[in-house]
Structure 1
Amino acid sequence: MVLPMVLLKLTDWVWYQLLANSCQRAARKVRNYGSPKPHQLPQPPSFPNITKCELNGRKSHTLVCDIFGGLLRSNSVFPYFMLVAFEGGSIIRAFLLLLSCSFLWVLDYELQFRVMIFITFCGLKIKHMESVGRAVLPKFYLENLNLHAYEALASTGSKVVFTSVPRVMVEGFLQEYLDVDDVKGTELLTSGHYFTGLLSKSGLLMKHRALKEYFGDRIPDIGLGTSSLHDDLFISLCKEAYVVNKEDSKSNSSTSVLPRHRYPKPLIFHDGRLAFLPTPLATLSMFLWIPIGIVIAIFRISVGIFLPFKIAIFLATCTGLNLSVKGLDSTSTKSNHENRGVLYVCTHRTLLDPVILSTALAKPLTAVTYSLSKMSEVIAPIRTVRLTRDRKKDGKTMNKLLSEGDLVVCPEGTTCREPYLLRFSSLFAELADEIVPVAVNTKVSMFYGTTASGLKCLDPIFFLMNPRPVYYVEILGKLPKELTCAGGKSSCEVANYIQRKLGDALGFECTTLTRKDKYLMLAGNEGIVSDNKRKN
């Protein structure tokens, strides 16, 4: 029974491809039969490009659009379902969604959506979807916003988005980042704290029907969509209609990319493991790489633990790790009359920052951390000491460690993936006069080596699983004594100065945000958990 149905679908698809243009013209004639309404516009070939939309004087106007194919440069919904499946569900759920690509192309529009929704959401916890919608999806939406579509949206006073994807996937981003007034999308059935993977009684949202129901006799001022038949019906119900051409939707079109400095809201924090947009081909490449990546990560960890610094760097470089070191360590010959160690102050990108610095300097360092998993402590090739977040106790601990040797500290208190520096704690400035700022940055192509809501013990492994991870280290040189507390500066002045110095070296923007702000935004807590969990 299944095989005949598949063959029937395949035949239907071929027939559609051969006669698509003629069928579309016939559908237009049927739809336009009779007396046309005065606000109906010419058919898609006559609809102007979004670049022709006049932006001035639009504050009293209403714009309607879809996020896919309208606001985003690509109308493909698969990567965003994959993000939910992988980040909110599991690797098994993501693999099943990838397998569905083998037959999705023979299904019709509505059935494709139903299959993807079922695989992605069946048994998924509601709180996990909320976490993905808040901390993962916004990054990918912002990176794929169409510049011209965003400008049109921002110029209007009222904005309503209609989309066939589940509302929970887009509503948070649209309202928080784009100030959209209302979002109409497909509604999902839930059972307790879980999604069932089934649609509500209203079924899959059809944009043109939803628009008529929402506005009634009123006519929206601007409609934005693509030249597809679905969007043709949708935007034809507006006073003005504009389309986003295929050329504008290509992800590599530089003219349609929204620059970071034009983001409606700065993207400072985001979570999740995937560092790429998981298109079907990119996702397949990831699954093929994972077994190889695990072996390479174990090898990179092993050479760091058991081999001398120079040999470890050479072997790690042979596996694709790119370590770039700039600047000279001027503290090799100690001149400190108190015979105390040097305090290295680093920007914080991953848990490996102290290890990479120790390797770059080719000398052992001690790293202080607020909370570290047992696994990370075991695989760390350098000494690690936990702090308690009690300022007085931590000060004594760091003083003692400095009397024993060189110490590395990351005063941001947590990692940040984007080109921003969080507020520096001033405690380190009170403890040492010999301070060396170190600018650290990373670049990954497949997996992020940090997480706010996942398992912290896997952070180093995920980073080292990347095919060609990059670590950039710049040693800025010892801070002059007159700029330290010994020179009359307050600890806050020293901390702020070093933050600005490191920000300038990396081209990062300094902020006053803290670890608490990050975890409240990404995980809904303050990032402090009991010792037995060790997840912050």
Structure 2
Amino acid sequence: MAMAAACFRSIHDCASAGRENDAVAADMDGTLLRGRSSFPYFALVAFEAGGALRLLFLLLLSPLAGFLYYFISESAGIRVLIFAAFAGVRVSDIESVARAVLPKFYSGDLHPESWRVFSACGKRCVLTANPRIMVEAFLKDFLGADLVMGTEVSTFKGRATGFVKPPGVLVGKNKAAALRAAFGDTPPEIGLGDRRTDFPFMSLCKESYIVPEKPEVKAVSVDKLPKAVIFHDGRLVQKPTPFLALLIILWIPVGFLLACLRIAAGALLPMPLVYYAFWALGVRVTVKGTPPPPVTKSSGNSGVLFICSHRTLLDPIFLSTALGRPIPAVTYSVSRLSEMISPIKTVRLSRDRATDAAMIRKLLQEGDLAICPEGTTCREPFLLRFSSLFAELTDELVPVAMVNRMSMFHGTTARGWKGMDPFYFFMNPSPAYEVTFLSKVPSQLTRGAGKSSHDVANYIQRVIAATLSYECTAFTRKDKYTALAGNDGTVPEKPQLKPKQVMGC
């Protein structure tokens, strides 16, 4: 870095005002991102596309990759990581992880000074040693990059071979050659890099700035990004460093046995005892508010419809745990395995409004019922649009705000097998749920008082959002799966997030 200081000025000396007509060429790891190591992102690809054994394979080869990287050549070390993470993996799976999983972790590691300069320029180019297939979705969809040049990975019959295409890993002179080929005789105005192997391409730019290594620098806050990630997938909660990756691998067999024990306790014990069994097994359940008393068939009254925010498919089970009695739930989709191990009755909705309405009315005549009107889960602090169907069926409505905490694994998936969702949730060392019972919807705000079903649904959405300090959106289940299947999975521009503008069912 002493040589770098003599050749290039610090990124702090780069003015960002008036750069709308300028082009910038930037490295990724250690430059646009604070972290200099790409291991966590290769580990994410390995686990999410190949499973625990693939992650173990990557972890076993990582010492060799590190030795080659630091003592032989940067290119050789990266080749080992690419082979360990990619060899034999379907290209479509890598693309899916790059689109649905990695942006969440990349966006939380953006370097503030690099982003200040990069975002100010009218044309944005990124040159990175990472495989282009792994980073392009994030860089283009979330950072507005116009051109992404990275290492190209060879494929065979739809699967990655683990080897790289000529001219090899994009480092050193290869980066300079790629930049020269893209810009010709008109080099970018600004070049940003952080290490010696970036010097060749930086020297081609009119101005070049080095990004000093400062791991303690605070990442760009999510509200400063052009787009916020609402929909994302993947099982891992935290970015897997080598130590955390080892911990995950060692924990999985223990965690799976613990999950089986926790699920068995919930399914086999009487519901009044489940709350205490969960606490004894490390599952924390916090109950807030005052729930309504149970409605019996003999009373002749319609049951209470609990309107829950949707965090995992376990929401109705933890609602029942908090109440100490089983509450049946209606759901749009649930796997056969989840139905088999569920301690409560689950009823599938047909998505035909008339059929579903008749079924829910019948269930309410038998007692209390739970529904999650978002229709799908959301991991971020947002509420998706509520279906208005429930508001047409009863005025006995009790909103319930659900919050959960997972430290290792997400208990939801859009790409994987949903039957494993309960197991992944209970595989966390100490998962937690907070169930907050809100006041029953006032009679003057129900359909019986002349309010439309949309007004009732929007009111409940606002009440739950205010309790959780979440934002309301107009996104639906269809938007989520469309985003994770091929779009960028982002929110619209900020003005559209205001509840009065976007809420409505």
Shift of 1:204: 1.4
Equivalent position amino acid for 1:236 in 2: S
Aligned to 1:317: 279
Mapping of residues 260-271 of structure 1, within 5 Å: 260-271=222-233
Question: Aligned residue for 1:218?
Answer: 186
Task: Tell me the secondary structure at the aligned position of residue 141 of structure 1.
Answer: helix
Q: Indicate which of 89, 101, 115 corresponds to 1:124.
A: 89
Shift of 1:241: 2.2
Aligned to 1:394: 356
| Residues in 1 aligned to 2:279 and 2:192: alpha-carbon distance in whole angstroms | 49
Change (3 A) 1:242 1:334: farther
Amino acid of the structure 2 residue aligned with 1:242: Y
Q: Is 1:93 paired with 2:54?
A: yes
SS at 1:440 equivalent: strand
Q: How big is each residue's C-alpha offset from its partner over 1:91-128, in whole Å with a ceiling of 9 and x where there is no partner?
A: 22221011112322221321111111112222211111
**How many angstroms apart in 2 are the aligned matches of 1:80 and 1:498?**
39
Asked if 1:54 corresponds to 2:15, the answer is yes
1:431-482 deviation line (CA, Å, top 9, x unaligned): 1111000000112111110011110000000001011212111111211011
Contact 1:72 1:144 in 2 (8 A): yes
Amino acid of the structure 2 residue aligned with 1:480: P
RMSD: 1.9
Look at both structures and tell me which one has the larger radius of gyration over its CA atoms. 1
**Alpha-carbon deviations, 1:216-254, whole Å to 9, x = none?**
33232111121x21123332332222222222xx2xx3x
Q: Is the 8 A contact 1:331 1:342 kept in 2?
A: no
The CA deviation at 1:165 is 1.1
1:335 to partner: Cα distance: 13
Q: Does 1:231 align with 2:193?
A: no
Tell me, what secondary structure is at the counterpart of 1:397?
A: helix
Deviations 1:290-347 (A, max 9, x none): 1111111111111112223453222322333222211111344789985110000000
Give the Cα separation in 2 of the matches to 1:269 and 1:245.
33
The structure 1 segments of at least 4 consecutive aligned residues displaced by more than 4 Å after TM superposition are 332-338
1:133, CA displacement in angstroms?
Answer: 1.3
Mark the CA change 1:104 to 1:493 in structure 2 (over 3 Å): closer, same or farther: same
**Is the Cα contact below 8 Å between 1:61 and 1:156 reproduced in 2?**
yes
State how far apart, in whole Å, the 1-side matches of 2:222 and 2:166 are. Answer: 40
How far is the alpha carbon of 1:266 from its aligned partner?
1.8
Conserved? CA contact 1:44–1:232, under 8 Å: no
1:409/1:172 Cα in 2 relative to 1: closer, same or farther (>3 Å)? same
**1:199 maps onto 2:129 in alignment:** no
* In 2: Cα distance, 1:102 partner to 1:198 partner: 19
CA distance in 2, matches of 1:338, 1:311: 28
Question: What SS does the aligned partner of 2:483 have?
Answer: helix
Contact 1:148 1:256 in 2 (8 A): no
- Once the two structures are superposed, the pairs formed by residues 80-479 of structure 1 within 5 Å of their partners are 80-107=41-68, 108=72, 109-206=74-171, 207-226=175-194, 228-247=195-214, 250=215, 253=216, 255-332=217-294, 338-479=300-441
Of residues 69, 72, 85, the one that matches 2:30 is 69
The answer to whether the Cα contact below 8 Å between 1:452 and 1:523 also exists between their aligned partners in 2 is: no
Cα separation, partners in 2 of 1:370 and 1:363, compared to 1, 3 Å: same
* TM-score normalised according to structure 1 size: 0.86
Contact 2:62/2:81, CA 8 A, preserved across alignment: no
> Any conservation in 2 of the 1:185–1:205 contact (CA below 8 Å)?
yes
Secondary structure of the residue that 1:245 maps to in structure 2? coil
Q: Equivalent residue for 1:18?
A: none
2:458 is matched with: 496
Contact 1:331 1:478 in 2 (8 A): no
Give the superposition deviation at 1:131: 0.8
> In structure 2, how many angstroms separate the alpha carbons of the residues matched to 1:187 and 1:396?
56
* Contiguous gaps of at least 5 residues in structure 1: 1-20, 26-42, 526-536
What is the SS of the residue equivalent to 1:54?
A: coil
**SS in structure 1 opposite 2:67?**
coil
Q: How far off is 1:89 after superposition?
A: 2.1
